[in-house]
Structure 1
Amino acid sequence: MNVSNGIYTIADTKVFGWVTLPWTVKQVRLMALADKAFWNNDNFNSSFFIKAKQLCVKLAARKTQLNKKKITILNTEHGAMYGNEDGVLITPRLSFNSVLTHEMVHSFHIGHSYSDRKIAIFPFAHMGEYGDRYDLMSTSNAWMYKSQYGLSGPGLNGPHLDYLGWLPSNRILYFGSSIIRLSSLSISHAQSNDWLLVMLPFDKNDPANVFTLEFRTPINYDSGIKQEAVVIHKIDRKGTTYYSTIITHSKDYDEMMVGTEWVHFLEQDSPEVYPVIKVRVERIDKQRQVAVLQINSTFNPIKPNKISCRSTRKQRHLKDEMNSSHIQNEGETVRILPPEQNGFFKDLVTFGMNACNNGYVWRMIDPYDYACVTKNRQQEIRYQRKVGNPSGICRKPLMLRKAFPSDTACVTQTEFVIIQKENAEMHKNMKYHSFFNGEETVVP
C-alpha cells in the first residue's frame, strides 16, 4: 500500500549506476562560484549542489538516455534538494524514505506545507513553513517513524492528495452541515467506505478557498503519528498560488480528539449576522478507523441588501438547488449574488484543486480520473464498451486505452489517440493549474 493508492508507480525507473566526476569538490565549488546563473543565489552551498547535479546529469546523458525526471545521489557533502532542470539531488546521510519522497513530491509542483503558527521552524524557512507535522512536505519536522529504509512517513495531507488527484472524487464532500463519518486517510481506500475529505467553503468569491477535514491514524506510512486525530487545513489563494495551512489549536495542539470542538467566525454580512463554522469530534472508532463529526456551517453565498440586517438562511449541500433570485426572510429581502456567484453550489460540478474550467467536467473513467472534458465527451466514454481483461491483452485491431497505468480497457486506435491527447492537454482545461504551496523552482 502506498500514499497514492497505486496511482503513482516507479515501474519505469532505471538505475544508471555510479559516475565519477573528473573534478574535485573544490573545483566544482569554483565552477559554481564562476557561474553567473548563481550570482543571485544567497545560498552558496545550494549553488554547489546544483552545479554538481548538472555535471553528473550531463556526463550520464552522454552514455545513456535518461528519463525526464532524475534522481542524483552525490557521495559527498550533506544535503538534499529539487530543481526543475535536473531533478532531485540527495547525499548518503539523507538517503532515506522521508527525504527522498519529499524531494520527489516537489517534482509534482508542490511546495512545503505550512502551519498557522507565526514561528520559523528552521533558520532558512518562512514563518510557518515546515509546520504541518501530518504532512510529508514538512519532513524533518513531521511525524516520521523508523523503517528498514531509514526514517519514513508521514503521508501527504488531504489538500495535497486532492491536488494530485490521489483521492476518489466520489468520496470528497464539498460542504456538509450534519453528522458525517470520516474514514482514515492512513489506510487503503479499498478498506474503508466513508468520506475521505470534507471541504467547507468560507469565501463567497472563490469556491476553492475552503477548510478541509481529514482523519489520520497511526498505521502504515502514518505509523509515526502519536494518536488517532482529525486534522483541519485552510486552503486559500495568495497572489496567483493556493496555499494549504494546518489549523492549530490551544496548548499547541495540531489536531482534534474526541470531545473537542473548533469554531471559526466568518466575515460578517451585517452587524447582527455572525456566519460561523463549527466542527466537533463526537466519536472515534479505532477498530474501524472511522471518526464521527458534527459539522454546522452557516456560510451563505447570498449577500443581504443594504436595507437588510439579518439573514438566517443556511446553505445546503452541493446537490441542492438555489433557483430563486430573491428570498423573503422575516420581512426582509435577501439578494442572491450576480450570475457568476448565483449558482455557487448548484453549478459547482467540479471542485477542489482539480476543478475544471466552466463548460468542462471530469472524465471519470474511474473516480480517480480528473481529466477535464466536455459533457458530451464524458457521455461518450460512459457508453464505451469495455473489452479489457485482467491480463491486459487486447485482440487486434483493439489496443489498451492506457488512460492511467491500471486502465486495461480495450479501444480502437482512434480512441487511444484521443485519450492520450486529453491526458497530455488536461492542464489546459483545469481552473487552478499552478504550483501548490509556493512557486519555488529550487527547494530543499
Structure 2
Amino acid sequence: MMNIFILLLIVGYSIHDIDGYGVRGQTIWQIILCKFSDSSTPKYTPTEIKEKFLDRGTGGLADYWHDISNGLINFNSSSVNGWYTISETKEQQLKKSRNQRFDDCVKASKLLIRASQRIIVITNPGIDLWGRNKQVYTAEDHDLTLIAHEMGHAYGLAHSFSDDPNYRNIDWAQIGEYDDEWDVMSAAHVKTTNTIKYGSAPPGLNGYGLERLGWIPLNRIYTFGKKGETSATLILTTLMNPASNYPLLIRIPFDPSDYQHYYLIEMRFKENWDAGFHQNFVFIHEIKYNPADKNYHSYLLRTHDTSTRQPVTSMNMNNVKITTGKINVQTRTISVYIESNIADRCLQGYVWREAISSDHVCVIPTIRSQTWADNAAADSRRNPSGGPFGVDTCKQGYVWREAYSSNDHVCVLPETRTQAQNDNNQAANRRNPSQFVYGPLTCRNGFVWREADNYDYVCVTPTTRKQTAADNAVGPLRRRPGHTCMYGYYVRNAYPNDYVCVSMSVLIQVLADNFAAISRWVFG
C-alpha cells in the first residue's frame, strides 16, 4: 500500500509539468549551452547565464516570471548545463531543421531528459530563435524581451493580436498579429524597458494570457450578465498590485453560439515591468476563434487611424456598450459602465418566441414560426358572432394561447397552448448564455473547478468540490504545529504549499484529479 501511495504522490505532482493551461508551482528548466565546432569562446559563463535565467534578485527572467505569475511559479531545481560542443560547424547546423538542431544540442549534452521536462537550448553564436511547448531555442546574447516571449510559447501561449485590419508585422504574419504592444506575446513589437545587464525587458501578459495560465484569482473575474443584469457600473482595479475587493478582469459575453467569444476589460499601470508604457491604460480585448490556426486569441481593440492607433476605451457594438470613466491613480481603480442584453438572450438552439415584441421566452425555431403563423391567423379563428368572451371568443376547437400574462387571446389549438405553458415553465433554463461562460479554463461537462484556493482551476466532480470545501473548513482542527497532520490525516497537496489535512481517500482523489487536470479543461 505504501509503494502505491508513493507512486501516486509522484504522479500527482505532474500537474505542475502541464503547460498551456493552469501552470503552477515549480517549473523546472534544463538549460543546455551549446557551441559549434567553429565557435569562438562564449561571451558568458554558465554562472552568468544562470543569473540571467534562473536566479531571483538579478532583474532577470526568474524575477520576471515570478512577478507576472503573482508568485505562483518558480524555477527551483532548474539548472544550467554546458558549454557542450556540437561536432558540426555553424553553417552545417544552419542547413538542418529546427528539430534537428535542437536535438543535436540535447544529444551533445548526454543529459538524461524526461519527456515532461522543459528545455532551453542556448547557442554560441546565435542562429535561431523560437519557442513551442516546453522548448525554447535561443542565443546567449538575446535580450529578456525575446526570450520571455519564447518562454511564453513554451508555457503554451499563442501570439496576441489587434483588430486593426491594416496592420501586418511581417509578410508571413497574419493581419493584426504582434499588434498588442502592451503584451509580451506580441514581441518584438512591444513597449519595453531597458536593463543594465540584459538588454530590453518586456511588459507583462495581458489578462487573457494570465487567465489562461491560471494566474488570476477565480474570484477576481467578473462575468457580466451572470446575475441577470442588463446594465451596471462596475469598479475595475489593476492587473498587477490590485486594490482589494474589486475585479481584475471584467468579461462580457455576447455570442450565444460560442461561449469562448467575449470581450475582456483590464487596466494596467505604467510601473514595474510595464514601465515602458507611456501612460496608464484601460484595454478592451475581444477573445475569439481564429480559423487560420484553429486557436483562440486576444485581439486588442484599437483605433484604426494611421497616426495614433490608440487602444479603444469605450465602444458600442455586438449589443454591448462599454463606457469607462477616469482612472483614479490613488485608489488604482476605474469605473466601467456596461450595457448588454446577454442575460436576456437565448442559449444556442433557441430563439425568442415573440408572440408580441416583448415576448423573450426562448423556444426552438419551429415554435417561433408557429407562433407567428398563429398571430397571422388570429382573426380567422375568432367567432364572428361573438360568444361568452365577446369578440375574443374562439371558434370551436380553438382556445386562447395565453403565452404571456396580459390578454394573449390569440386562438390556437389546445396542444399549442400546452406547448406555450411548457415553454414558459422552461424559460429560465433556456436563457442567459453568460451563465456558461468561464474563460479559457472552462471545465468539460460534468466537472467544476475544485477551488481548494482562489487559484485552483483543477476540474473535479461537484461532489469532490463539496468535499474540498468541507476539508478547508475543518482543516485547522486536523493540523499540528509545523504543517503536520494529526494521526489518520495527510497533507493534501492539491497545490504547492497546500497544508490542509485530509483522509487517505481524499488524498488519493486529489492526486488523481491533478493528474487528470489537462484532460478536463475544454481545450485540454
Regarding TM over 0.5, the answer is yes
1:37-436 pair list within 5 angstroms: 47=97, 49-60=98-109, 62-65=110-113, 68-84=117-133, 87-94=135-142, 96-118=143-165, 119-148=167-196, 149-175=198-224, 177-187=231-241, 189=242, 191-239=243-291, 240-249=294-303, 251=305, 252-256=308-312, 261-264=314-317, 266=318, 276-299=319-342, 300-302=344-346, 303-305=351-353, 308-309=356-357, 342-345=430-433, 347-348=435-436, 351-384=438-471, 385-386=474-475, 387=478, 392-394=483-485, 398-433=489-524
Equivalent pairs, count:
387
> In the aligned structure 1, how far is the partner of 2:513 from the partner of 2:193?
40
State TM-score, norm by structure 2: 0.67
Task: Give, in angstroms, the shift of residue 125 of structure 1.
Answer: 1.5
Distance 1:390 1:209, change over 3 A: farther
Task: Give, in angstroms, the shift of residue 307 of structure 1.
Answer: 5.8
* Residues 15-24 or 136-145, more deviating: 15-24
Distance 1:98 1:253, change over 3 A: same
* Residues 398-407 or 204-213, more deviating: 398-407
Query: SS at the partner of 2:337?
Result: strand
- Contact 1:389–1:408 (CA under 8 A) maintained in structure 2: no
Partner amino acid, structure 1, of 2:68: V
Q: Which residue matches 1:41?
A: none
- Contact 1:183–1:195 (CA under 8 A) maintained in structure 2: yes
State TM-score, norm by structure 1: 0.78
Q: Residues 64-100 of structure 1, C-alpha deviation per residue, up to 9 Å, x if partnerless? A: 446611001111134310144x710111231x32222
Distance 1:288 1:329, change over 3 A: farther
User: 5+ unaligned residues in a row in structure 1: which ranges?
Assistant: 33-46, 267-275, 314-324, 434-444
RMSD (Å) for aligned C-alpha atoms: 3.2
Percent identity over paired residues: 27
Task: Give, in angstroms, the shift of residue 174 of structure 1.
Answer: 0.8
> In the aligned structure 1, how far is the partner of 2:111 from the partner of 2:360?
70
Q: Which residue matches 1:35?
A: none
> In the aligned structure 2, how far is the partner of 1:389 from the partner of 1:343?
49
> In the aligned structure 2, how far is the partner of 1:413 from the partner of 1:220?
44
User: 5+ unaligned residues in a row in structure 2: which ranges?
Assistant: 1-65, 226-230, 362-401, 411-419
Partner amino acid, structure 2, of 1:7: L
> In the aligned structure 2, how far is the partner of 1:330 from the partner of 1:159?
48
Query: SS at the partner of 2:83?
Result: coil
- Contact 1:169–1:367 (CA under 8 A) maintained in structure 2: yes
Query: SS at the partner of 2:81?
Result: coil
Q: Residues 282-320 of structure 1, C-alpha deviation per residue, up to 9 Å, x if partnerless? A: 12111221111111223331333366556799xxxxxxx
- Contact 2:120–2:136 (CA under 8 A) maintained in structure 1: yes
User: Of the two, which has the highest radius of gyration?
Assistant: 2
Q: Higher helix proportion, which one?
A: 2
Distance 1:195 1:64, change over 3 A: same
Task: Give, in angstroms, the shift of residue 358 of structure 1.
Answer: 2.5
